[in-house]
């Protein structure tokens, strides 16, 4: 575990000890949006020369009475952590909001729905060159990007999916799609699932998807989150990637195996 991972884990543990609800994430996102536009305030809240007590007092002076006690406790916990820069503090605070949103979906029993919708959204954007280009355009206003995403998902996905899709328009992981994929990975971690990236030649119906999920869960010995992608070049069968393990049962793979065997005759 890297020092950064250890710091995230420590903060996650501290925030998990705070009693939050589905509204807390939205309050944290509002604070993130405020701080994004206030560089001086970001620097003050992340100032390594200021004591934890001083940074906490600043948080209370700014937000007490304006956000819930739970959200205030989370912002205070984030401000106490060593960030080194205001931008890292804001990213860390948004990460906690994302975690809380995903946790609320998990408590509902809807985490698989949310991660599945997020994965599909990332795939859709990746395949739409014009939309992906607009979301990458630094000159295009953030509100405009969020409006594009909201129009794409409004009324079609779980509320948590819609909220996180809107957050991803900021693209803190370089692109919208990469940012959304980081949310999917976080959701799988919260649910205690392994991500199985499955590529098939044609879409699977619900029954075949359920059978595949069950078979993979038996193979890995635990819950699996499926990420299905359709690629006609697979030529039949499927390709499954779980962590570092690759499982191939495609016509293309079998032809390549036969070709390699022939070259060694």
pLDDT of the residue at 167: 96
pLDDT of the residue at 4: 73
**What CATH number corresponds to the domain at position 243?**
3.40.30
pLDDT of the residue at 148: 95
pLDDT digits (tens, 9 = 90+) for 189-203: 999 999 988 888 888
- Cβ partners under 8 Å of residue 265, min gap 6: none
User: What would you report as the CA-atom Rg of the chain, rounded to the nearest whole angstrom?
Assistant: 21
Name the residue among 108, 92, 115 with its Cα closest to residue 32.
Answer: 92
Alpha-carbon distances, residue 213 vs 107, 123, 183, 237, 248 (angstroms): 21, 20, 21, 15, 16
Instruction: Show which of 49, 79, 108 is a domain's final residue.
Output: 108
Domain that holds residue 22: 1-108
10 Å CB burial of residue 36 (0-12, 13-18, 19+) is middle
pLDDT of the residue at 36: 94
Residue 170: φ, ψ to 5°: -70, -25
What mean pLDDT is predicted for residues 158-182? Answer: 95
b vs e for 5-19, b when ≥16 Cβ sit within 10 Å of the residue's Cβ? eeebeebbebbeebe
pLDDT of the residue at 178: 95
Query: For residues 105 and 256, which has the higher predicted lDDT (pLDDT)?
Result: 105
Instruction: Show which of 138, 157, 192 is a domain's final residue.
Output: 192
Q: Are residues 17 and 80 in the same domain?
A: yes
Instruction: Show which of 162, 192, 222 is a domain's final residue.
Output: 192
Number of domains in the chain: 3
Q: Are residues 188 and 198 in the same domain?
A: no
pLDDT of the residue at 241: 86
What is this structure's pTM?
Answer: 0.84
CA atoms lying within 13 Å on the CB side of residue 230:
8
Q: Are residues 146 and 233 in the same domain?
A: no
Q: Are residues 216 and 170 in the same domain?
A: no
pLDDT digits (tens, 9 = 90+) for 39-79: 999 999 999 999 999 999 999 999 999 999 999 999 999 99
pLDDT of the residue at 256: 57
Q: What length does the chain have?
A: 265
Question: For residue 227, what are the β-bridge partners?
Answer: 197
CA atoms lying within 13 Å on the CB side of residue 203:
3
The C-alpha atoms of residue 33 and residue 27 are separated, in whole angstroms, by 10
Q: Are residues 67 and 30 in the same domain?
A: yes
Q: Which of 4-8, 63-67, 99-103, 189-193 has the lowest mean pLDDT?
A: 4-8
The C-alpha atoms of residue 237 and residue 250 are separated, in whole angstroms, by 4
Name the residue among 16, 27, 15 with its Cα closest to residue 74.
Answer: 15
């Amino acid at each position: 575990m890297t020092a950064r991972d250890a710091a995230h884990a420590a903060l996650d543990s501290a925030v998990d000890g705070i009693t939050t609800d589905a509204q807390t994430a939205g309050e944290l996102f509002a604070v993130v949006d405020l701080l994004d536009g206030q560089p001086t305030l970001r620097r003050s809240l992340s100032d390594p020369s200021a004591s934890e007590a001083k940074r906490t007092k600043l948080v209370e002076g700014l937000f007490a009475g304006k956000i819930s006690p739970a959200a205030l406790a989370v912002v205070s916990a984030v401000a106490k952590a060593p960030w080194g820069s205001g931008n890292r503090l804001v990213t860390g605070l948004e990460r906690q909001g994302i975690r809380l949103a995903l946790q609320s979906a998990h408590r509902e029993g809807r985490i698989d729905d949310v991660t599945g919708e997020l994965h599909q959204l990332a795939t859709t954007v990746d395949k739409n060159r014009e939309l992906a280009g607009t979301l990458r355009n630094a000159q295009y206003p953030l509100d405009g990007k969020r409006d594009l995403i909201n129009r794409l998902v409004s009324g079609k996905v779980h509320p948590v999916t819609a909220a996180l899709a809107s957050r991803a328009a900021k693209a803190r992981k370089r692109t919208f799609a990469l940012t959304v994929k980081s949310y999917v990975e976080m959701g799988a971690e919260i649910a205690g699932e392994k991500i199985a990236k499955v590529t098939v030649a044609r879409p699977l119906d619900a029954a075949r998807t359920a059978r595949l999920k069950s078979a993979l869960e038996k193979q890995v010995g635990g819950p699996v989150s499926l990420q299905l992608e359709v690629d006609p070049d697979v030529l039949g069968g499927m390709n499954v990637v779980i962590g570092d393990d690759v499982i191939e049962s495609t016509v293309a793979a079998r032809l390549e195996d036969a070709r390699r065997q022939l070259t060694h005759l």
